[in-house]
Structure 1
Amino acid sequence: MRIILLRHGQSLGNVDELAYCRIPDHALPLTEVGEQQARAAGPRIKELLNGDPAAVYVSPYVRTRATLRNLDLGDQAERTVAEPRLREQDWGNLQDPVQQQVLKHQRHAFGHFFFRLPNGESGADVDDRLAAFLTDLETRMADPTHPGTALVVSHGLTIRLLCRRLFGWSIELFESLSNLETCEDRVLTHDGRTWRLDRPFDQWRTSPDGETQGPLA
């Protein structure tokens, strides 16, 4: 069994933080660069699939669905499921720019996992919904009619937390990791005993508890 994790292409919110003040997070579109990134990622994902079909699970946000569309997987996407549990951390509705900066500083000081955004979620809340998604996914992948590969098109923090949950990483390690770049991928493979990660996430610091990523393929 394999899970291919892909972050969406560059979105308007990645280049203009004030966009969150006038456009709901779920409706933010890809930029032209993001569209190009997604098209360029298509051949890479197809090479990973090596002609085999995949079940696609995609966050229902505009930027993730646009990324999937631009991959142009054709018949290799055997089934596509819009999965709300794969959405980005909820920051609330339209954001005030001043409060947005204050919250970012508070969140960084408090920790990305436990800090709950007013009218939104904490990282722990996202972790909880991803636990339910992974339980369902593993049940589905155990069905012989389900493709052996699942492609998950989601968001930076969400992908980090999905791996944290799957590998049992500590909170300290999770908070030491960087998000994937836009349209960057990671491949998780089950070797019959455990899940393995094809390559580690970038780290901006050593985990305070000494924990490291793994197991790696």
Structure 2
Amino acid sequence: MGELVVIRHGETAWSRTGRHAGRTDLPLTEAGEDVARALAPRLSEREFAAIYVSPLTRAVRTAELAGLSSAEPDADLIEWDYGRYEGLTADQIQDLKPGWELWRDGVDGGEDLGHVTVRVDAFLGRVRPLLDRGDVAVVAHGHLSRILTARWLGLDASAARQFGHPHPGTVNTLGYEHKLPVVLGWNVP
């Protein structure tokens, strides 16, 4: 059985400052491009049966620089639509809505967790059969990667709160152990 290699895009100006970047199409910073390039030697050691990428620029550019230029864009991998919270930090959202917690309260005017879960489940449904042929790479976003991991493990999407936020340009590896879905690596630079 192959492994699902989930790569978070490189740094953007918003990820560096903790701003929620859902659908805003941001470029990588210079540091983000450097981190993406640094992934290339490690990823070149693997043969991928398929490679998928969020169609947002920060993910597509990360895939290109990491040597995954044959990645197929998949709209189900776009980051959570944060609605009115787009571009805000968690502290700024707390000022607007004291006690707010993303996984419990969701967002105002954007996508609810259930909709993100439907997208992630559809993607996993298409990808799981490909793992019989080998590894599959995914270049996506922080919160989406956490939800994908929770669903990979068969957990409710809200369990994504229990996974540390993947740092920009890191690799998270999902696979199987004794036929059970497991996390094989998390937040690996």
Query: TM-score when scaled to structure 2?
Result: 0.82
Once residues 99 and 37 of structure 1 are traced to their aligned partners in structure 2, the CA distance between those partners, rounded to angstroms, is 25
Tell me the equivalent position of 1:55: 50
1:160 aligns with 2:158: no
1:68-83 counterparts in 2 under 5 A? 68-73=63-68, 77=70, 80-83=71-74
User: What stretches of structure 2 of length at least 5 have no aligned partner?
Assistant: none
Tell me the equivalent position of 2:5: 4
Displacement of 1:96 in angstroms is 7.5
Alignment partner for residue 113 of structure 2, among 100, 123, 142?
Answer: 123
Contact 2:94-2:100 within 8 A present in 1 as well: no
Whose Rg is larger? Answer: 1
Please give the per-residue CA displacement for 1:66-99, whole angstroms capped at 9, x wherever unaligned: 000101246xx5xx32011111110137958699
Tell me the equivalent position of 2:79: 88
Tell me the equivalent position of 2:184: 198
Displacement of 1:136 in angstroms is 1.5
Amino acid at match of 2:65: N
Aligned residue pairs, count: 187
Displacement of 1:177 in angstroms is 2.6
Amino acid at match of 1:34: G
Contact 1:177-1:201 within 8 A present in 2 as well: no
1:102 aligns with 2:93: yes
Tell me the equivalent position of 1:137: 127
Displacement of 1:9 in angstroms is 0.3
Q: 1:192 to 1:68 in 2, by over 3 A?
A: same
Contact 1:114-1:124 within 8 A present in 2 as well: no
Amino acid at match of 2:138: V
Amino acid at match of 1:46: S
Considering only aligned residues, what root-mean-square deviation do their CA atoms show, in Å? 3.2
Once residues 19 and 116 of structure 1 are traced to their aligned partners in structure 2, the CA distance between those partners, rounded to angstroms, is 13
Tell me the equivalent position of 1:41: 39
User: What stretches of structure 1 of length at least 5 have no aligned partner?
Assistant: 203-217
Amino acid at match of 1:182: P
Contact 2:51-2:137 within 8 A present in 1 as well: yes
Once residues 155 and 66 of structure 2 are traced to their aligned partners in structure 1, the CA distance between those partners, rounded to angstroms, is 30
Query: TM-score when scaled to structure 1?
Result: 0.72
